[in-house]
Amino acid sequence: MNGVRYLETAEVLAGELAGLPSGTKIASENEIAERFGVSRAAARAAVQELERRLLVRRVRGSGTYVSWRMDYVLSPDRTPSWHQTVRDAGGEPRSVVRELRTVPLPRELAARLEREPGEPAHFLVRQYFVDGLVVSWTNEWIPLDVLAELEVAARTVESLDEILRQLARVLPTRAWCRVGIAVPDAALSEALDIEGTRPVYLVESMSRDGEGGRPVMCSKTWTRTDSVSIVVEMGDGKHPGADVS
Task: Say yes or no to pLDDT of 94 above 70.
Answer: yes
Amino acid identity at 66: V
User: Which burial class, exposed, middle or buried, applies to 73 when counting CB atoms under 10 A from its CB (0-12, 13-18, 19+)?
Assistant: middle
Model confidence at 242, pLDDT cuts 50, 70, 90, reads very low
Confirm if 128 and 95 have CB atoms less than 8 A apart. yes
How confident is the model at residue 241, as a pLDDT? 44
Confirm if 80 and 205 have CB atoms less than 8 A apart. yes
Minimal CA–CA distance to 42: which of 9, 12, 17, 11? 9
Q: Which domains does the chain have, with CATH numbers?
A: 2-66 (1.10.10.10), 70-232 (3.40.1410.10)
Tens digit of each residue's pLDDT (9 = 90 or more) over 28-65: 999 999 999 899 999 989 988 888 887 888 877 778 88
How confident is the model at residue 236, as a pLDDT? 57
Cα(146)–Cα(148) distance, integer angstroms: 7
Cα(84)–Cα(90) distance, integer angstroms: 10
Tens digit of each residue's pLDDT (9 = 90 or more) over 130-178: 888 889 999 999 999 999 989 888 888 888 989 999 999 999 998 999 9
Minimal CA–CA distance to 51: which of 4, 18, 8, 10? 10
How confident is the model at residue 4, as a pLDDT? 64
Share of the chain above pLDDT 70, in %: 94
